[in-house]
Amino acid sequence: MSATLAETPVTPTRFAVPYLPEQAYRFDYPNGYTVVFVPKPGEVFNVSTWVKTGSIHEDDRINGISHFLEHLMFKGTTRCKPGEFDRAMESMGAIINAATWKDFTFYYVTGPNDPAGENFATVLDLHADMMLQSTLPEDEIGPQFDPADENYDGPKRERCVVIEEINMYKDQPWTKVYNTINNMMYPEGHPYRRDVIGTREIVATVPRETLEGYYKQWYAPATMTTIVVGDFDVATLEPQVRKAFAFAADAKASAPMTQKLSVSTSGGRYKVITGDYQTAFFIVGYHGPDGDDLKSTLALDVASYVLGESRSSRLVQSLVEKPETPVFNFVTCGQQTFQLGNVFYIQGNFIAPTPDEPLAQLNAELTTFLDTDPITQDEFMRAMKKLKVAFATGAETAAGIADDIGETLTVIGDITHYSGYLQALESLTLQDVRDAAKQFLSLDKAYTTVLVNGPTTDTP
Amino acid sequence: MTITTSPATLTNIEDLTLPNGARLVYQHIPSAPRVAMACYIAGGNLMDPVLGAIDIIDRLLMKGTKTRSQEDIAVAIDGLSLEMDVDSRRDYSVLGATLLPEDLDASFELIHDIFYNATLAEFEREKVKIAGELHMELDSPKARASDGLFKTVYANTPYGLTSSVFLETLAQHSSVDEAMAQYHAIYQPSRMIWSVAGPIEKDELVEALTRWLPAKSQSAAPNTHDTWVKTLNAYQLAQDVLLPLPKDDGNQAHIYQGWIAPPVASDDYYPLAVMNTLLGAAGLTARLFLELRDKQGLAYNVRSSYDAYCHSGLFYLYIGTEPKNRQKCLDGFRDECDKLVTVPVSDKELAETKRNMLGRRAMALETAGQKAGYIGSVVASGRPLSHIEKFRERIAAVTANDIQRVASNLFSKPSVIAIAGPSHCFE
3-state secondary structure of A348: strand
Measured distance CA(A376)–CA(A359) in Å, rounded? 24
Is B110 in contact with B76 (CB distance < 8 Å)?
yes
Using a CB-CB cut-off of 8 Å, the residues of chain A touching B125 are 324, 326
What would the pLDDT profile of A281-325 be if each residue is shown by its tens digit? Answer: 999 999 999 999 999 999 999 999 999 999 999 999 999 999 999
What would the pLDDT profile of A234-267 be if each residue is shown by its tens digit? Answer: 999 999 999 999 998 888 888 887 777 777 765 5
What would the pLDDT profile of A148-193 be if each residue is shown by its tens digit? Answer: 998 888 888 999 999 999 999 999 999 999 999 999 999 988 999 9
Contacts of the segment A148-151: beta carbons below 8 A, 24+ positions apart: A150/B324
Measured distance CA(A293)–CA(A412) in Å, rounded? 9
Q: How far is B198 from chain A (nearest CA, A)?
A: 12
Residue A371's CATH number:
3.30.830.10
**Conformational region of residue B373, where left means phi above 0, alpha means psi within -120 to 50, and beta covers everything else:** alpha
Q: How far is A246 from chain B (nearest CA, A)?
A: 27
3-state secondary structure of B80: coil
For residue A373, pLDDT beyond 90:
yes
For residue A459, pLDDT beyond 80:
no
Is A306 in contact with A313 (CB distance < 8 Å)?
yes
Nearest CB among A162, A351, A389 relative to B132 is that of A351
Using a CB-CB cut-off of 8 Å, the residues of chain A touching B252 are 164, 167-168, 171
**Shared fold status for B2-228 and B234-426:** yes
**Mean pLDDT value of segment B411-416:** 98
Which A residues, 59 through 88, put their C-beta within 8 Å of a C-beta on chain B? Answer: 74, 83, 86-87
Q: Is A438 on the interface with B (CB under 8 A)?
A: no
Whether residues A182 and A290 share a domain: the answer is no
Whether residues A309 and A240 share a domain: the answer is no
Q: Is A139 on the interface with B (CB under 8 A)?
A: no
Whether residues A305 and A198 share a domain: the answer is no
Whether residues A238 and A275 share a domain: the answer is no
Whether residues A133 and A174 share a domain: the answer is yes
Using a CB-CB cut-off of 8 Å, the residues of chain A touching B74 are 310-312, 316-317, 321
B2-228 under CATH 3.30.830.10, yes or no: yes
Whether residues A239 and A276 share a domain: the answer is no
Q: Name the residue type at position B324.
A: K
Using pLDDT thresholds of 50, 70 and 90, give the confidence band for residue A268. low
> What's CA A361's distance to the chain center, in Å?
31
Which A residues, 303 through 362, put their C-beta within 8 Å of a C-beta on chain B? Answer: 310-312, 316-317, 320-322, 324-326, 329-330, 349-351
Which A residues, 233 through 252, put their C-beta within 8 Å of a C-beta on chain B? Answer: none
The answer to the question of residue A396 being in a domain is yes
Q: How far is B209 from chain A (nearest CA, A)?
A: 24
Nearest CB among A95, A382, A397 relative to B283 is that of A95
| Closest residue in B to A119 (Cα–Cα) | B359
For residue B5, pLDDT beyond 60:
no
Task: Pick the residue of B59, B68, B78 with the most A CBs within 10 A to test the interface with A by mutation.
Answer: B78
Q: Residue A119's domain spans which residues? A: 3-244
End-to-end CA gap in chain B: 62
Q: How far is A276 from chain B (nearest CA, A)?
A: 7
C-alpha closest to that of B266 among B150, B356, B374, B383: B383
The answer to the question of residue A256 being in a domain is no
Using a CB-CB cut-off of 8 Å, the residues of chain A touching B78 are 310-312, 382, 386
Task: Pick the residue of B255, B284, B350 with the most A CBs within 10 A to test the interface with A by mutation.
Answer: B284
Structural domain spans, chain B = 2-228, 234-426
Measured distance CA(B183)–CA(B227) in Å, rounded? 20
The answer to the question of residue A261 being in a domain is no
| Closest residue in B to A151 (Cα–Cα) | B324
Is A413 in contact with A104 (CB distance < 8 Å)?
no
**Mean pLDDT value of segment A91-99:** 97
The chain-wide mean pLDDT, for chain B, equals 93
Looking from the CA of A328 toward its CB, the CA atoms found within 13 Å total 24
What would the pLDDT profile of B190-249 be if each residue is shown by its tens digit? Answer: 999 999 999 999 999 999 999 999 988 766 666 788 899 999 999 999 999 999 999 888
The answer to the question of residue A82 being in a domain is yes
Measured distance CA(B132)–CA(A47) in Å, rounded? 42
Position B359 scores a pLDDT of 93
The superfamily in CATH containing domain B234-426 is: Metalloenzyme, LuxS/M16 peptidase-like (3.30.830.10)
Parallel/antiparallel/unpaired status of strands B241-246 and B2-4: unpaired
What would the pLDDT profile of B263-308 be if each residue is shown by its tens digit? Answer: 999 999 999 999 999 999 999 999 999 999 999 999 999 999 999 9
Position A1 scores a pLDDT of 42
Q: How far is B54 from chain A (nearest CA, A)?
A: 20
Nearest CB among B139, B248, B293 relative to A277 is that of B139
What would the pLDDT profile of B347-383 be if each residue is shown by its tens digit? Answer: 999 999 999 999 999 999 999 999 999 999 999 999 9
For residue A401, pLDDT beyond 50:
yes
Query: Are the Cβ atoms of B297 and A324 closer than 8 angstroms?
Result: no
Burial class (CB in 10 A: 0-12, 13-18, 19+), A356: exposed
Contacts of the segment B388-397: beta carbons below 8 A, 24+ positions apart: B388/B4, B388/B6, B388/B10, B388/B13, B389/B4, B389/B5, B389/B6, B389/B7, B389/B10, B391/B361, B392/B7, B392/B8, B392/B358, B394/B270, B395/B270, B395/B273, B395/B274, B395/B354, B395/B357, B395/B358, B396/B354, B396/B358, B397/B270
Q: Is A173 on the interface with B (CB under 8 A)?
A: yes
C-alpha closest to that of A129 among A162, A83, A93, A80: A80
Q: Name the residue type at position B108.
A: F
How far lies B26's CA from each of B13, B14, B215, B374, in Å? 6, 5, 21, 12
**Mean pLDDT value of segment A8-32:** 91
Report DSSP state, residue A278: S
Using pLDDT thresholds of 50, 70 and 90, give the confidence band for residue A5. low
**Mean pLDDT value of segment A402-410:** 97
Q: How far is A90 from chain B (nearest CA, A)?
A: 5
Other Cβ atoms closer than 10 A to B393: 9
Using a CB-CB cut-off of 8 Å, the residues of chain B touching A399 are 363
**Mean pLDDT value of segment B98-105:** 95
Query: Are the Cβ atoms of B361 and A112 closer than 8 angstroms?
Result: yes
C-alpha closest to that of A333 among A313, A347, A321, A323: A347
**Mean pLDDT value of segment B312-326:** 96
Degrees, nearest 5: CA angle A64-A68-A72: 165
Looking from the CA of A64 toward its CB, the CA atoms found within 13 Å total 19
Using a CB-CB cut-off of 8 Å, the residues of chain B touching A95 are 283, 360, 363
Q: How far is A395 from chain B (nearest CA, A)?
A: 9
Measured distance CA(B412)–CA(A210) in Å, rounded? 49
Nearest CB among B296, B298, B300 relative to A168 is that of B300
Whether residues A225 and A342 share a domain: the answer is no
Position B221 scores a pLDDT of 63
How far lies A222's CA from each of A254, A371, B119, in Å? 9, 46, 61
Q: Name the residue type at position B208.
A: A
Choose the weakest-confidence range: A15-24, A44-53, A254-263, B409-418.
A254-263
| Longest Cα–Cα distance in chain A | 71
Q: Is A167 on the interface with B (CB under 8 A)?
A: yes
Q: How far is B222 from chain A (nearest CA, A)?
A: 30
Whether residues A343 and A378 share a domain: the answer is yes
Burial A198-234 (b: 16+ CB within 10 A, else e): bbbebbbebeeebbeebbeebbbbbbbbbbbbbebeb
Whether residues A214 and A276 share a domain: the answer is no
Measured distance CA(B394)–CA(B264) in Å, rounded? 13
Whether residues A41 and A166 share a domain: the answer is yes
Parallel/antiparallel/unpaired status of strands A270-275 and A447-453: parallel
**Mean pLDDT value of segment B246-266:** 94
Looking from the CA of B173 toward its CB, the CA atoms found within 13 Å total 30
Is B47 in contact with B187 (CB distance < 8 Å)?
no
The answer to the question of residue A262 being in a domain is no
| Longest Cα–Cα distance in chain B | 65
Q: How far is B30 from chain A (nearest CA, A)?
A: 13
For residue B310, pLDDT beyond 50:
yes
Report DSSP state, residue B218: P
**How many folded domains does chain A comprise?**
2
Whether residues A234 and A313 share a domain: the answer is no
Q: Is A42 on the interface with B (CB under 8 A)?
A: yes
C-alpha closest to that of A410 among A203, A258, A204: A258
Query: Are the Cβ atoms of B360 and A93 closer than 8 angstroms?
Result: yes
The answer to the question of residue A46 being in a domain is yes
Task: Pick the residue of B72, B73, B366, B395 with the most A CBs within 10 A to test the interface with A by mutation.
Answer: B366
> pLDDT: is A265 or B141 the higher one?
B141
* A-B contacts (CB, under 8 Å): 190
Looking from the CA of B11 toward its CB, the CA atoms found within 13 Å total 6
Report DSSP state, residue A222: G
The answer to the question of residue A253 being in a domain is no
Measured distance CA(A85)–CA(A373) in Å, rounded? 57
C-alpha closest to that of B354 among B346, B342, B366: B346
Whether residues A239 and A286 share a domain: the answer is no
Tell me phi and psi for residue B171, to 5 degrees.
Answer: -65, -20
> What's CA B102's distance to the chain center, in Å?
30
**Domain termination site, one of A175, A210, A244:** A244
Strand pairing partners for A15? Answer: A24
Question: What angle separates helix A377-394 from helix A398-407, to the nearest 10 degrees?
Answer: 110
